[in-house]
């Protein structure tokens, strides 16, 4: 089943045209990577899907329903959850309270224990304030808040940015476990190798345009393409 369809989207910040007739799709159970250099439009694509920056033209569909122009909370109620690169956890309440707050308005919330099984360190820090967490722990909490709402489509924007290699390794393992369980994931990530290790398909964006799509092995075999658009 096609869970997400982005069709000929044009998105602007004020008068600045950022996405140009951008189209992509994600099938249920897929992990799809959005790749590209800084400023290529990856985060804007995620924000467009989530309704944070509605497209001026084009359509976004979730499970066949047109959600173009809906507010972010209405799109979230349809099972789409964005984990932004800023994480946006509430730093003045505890880990457990952050999770409970996210679960409060969910139609079918996960249990706290299910989150703690995925992220044991969050259980150990459950009474700590959000602001007292390390960067890695804050990222785990940000993902946990999305999952506790039973995310049907999980949008991960730069989940590994600025984290220590051991934390990245653990987060990759957790993301792979979610994928193996059939969770649908779109990941934006500068760590190209990590993203391609997780994804079954990838799109490359350049200056707001999709310039390539295909399977990770095809991309990894094309050194010129990797260097031209990804700098690796």
Confidence of residue 128 (pLDDT cuts 50, 70, 90): very high
Among candidates 120, 115, 179, which has minimal Cα distance to 142?
115
The predicted pLDDT at position 136 comes to: 92
The predicted pLDDT at position 147 comes to: 95
- In the predicted structure, residue 105 carries a pLDDT above the cut 90: no
Per residue in 27-86, pLDDT (tens digit) is 999 999 999 999 999 999 999 999 999 999 999 999 999 999 999 999 999 999 999 988
User: pLDDT higher for 6 or 179?
Assistant: 6
222 contacts: CB under 8 Å, gap ≥ 6: none
DSSP 81-133: EEE-TT----TTSBHHHHHHHHHTT-SSPPPHHHHHHH-HHHHHTTTSBGGGS
Q: For the purposes of burial, counting CB atoms within 10 Å of the CB of 104, is it exposed (0-12), middle (13-18) or buried (19 or more)?
A: exposed
- In the predicted structure, residue 114 carries a pLDDT above the cut 80: yes
Average pLDDT over residues 150-163: 93
DSSP bridge partners of 11: 19
* Model pTM score: 0.94
The predicted pLDDT at position 127 comes to: 97
Average pLDDT over residues 8-20: 97
Residue corresponding to tokens 């345009």: 209
Average pLDDT over residues 216-226: 95
**Cβ 102 vs Cβ 81: under 8 Å:** no
- In the predicted structure, residue 232 carries a pLDDT above the cut 80: no
Does 3.40.50.1000 match the CATH number of domain 1-79+152-162+177-232?
Answer: no
Question: For the chain, what are the domain ranges?
Answer: 1-79+152-162+177-232, 85-150
Confidence of residue 24 (pLDDT cuts 50, 70, 90): very high
**3 state DSSP class of 30:** coil
């Amino acid at each position: 089943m096609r869970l997400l369809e982005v069709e000929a989207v044009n998105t602007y910040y004020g008068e600045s045209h950022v996405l140009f007739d951008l189209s992509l799709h994600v099938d249920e159970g897929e992990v799809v990577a959005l790749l590209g250099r800084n400023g290529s439009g990856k985060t804007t694509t995620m924000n467009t899907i989530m309704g944070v920056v509605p497209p001026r033209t084009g359509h976004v569909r979730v499970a066949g329903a047109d959600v173009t122009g809906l507010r972010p909370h209405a799109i979230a109620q349809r099972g789409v959850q964005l984990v932004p690169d800023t994480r946006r956890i509430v730093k003045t309440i505890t880990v457990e309270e952050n999770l409970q707050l996210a679960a409060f308005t969910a139609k079918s919330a996960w249990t706290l224990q299910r989150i703690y099984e995925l992220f044991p360190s969050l259980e150990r820090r459950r009474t700590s304030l959000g602001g007292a967490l390390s960067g890695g722990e804050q990222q785990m909490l940000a993902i946990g808040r999305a999952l506790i709402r039973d995310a049907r489509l999980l949008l991960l924007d730069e989940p590994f940015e600025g984290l220590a290699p051991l934390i990245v390794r653990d987060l990759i393992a957790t993301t792979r476990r979610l994928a193996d369980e059939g969770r649908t994931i779109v990941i934006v990530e500068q760590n190209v190798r990590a993203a391609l290790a997780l994804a079954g398909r990838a799109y490359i964006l350049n200056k707001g345009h999709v310039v390539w799509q295909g399977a990770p092995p095809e991309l990894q075999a094309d050194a010129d393409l990797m260097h031209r658009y990804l700098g690796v």
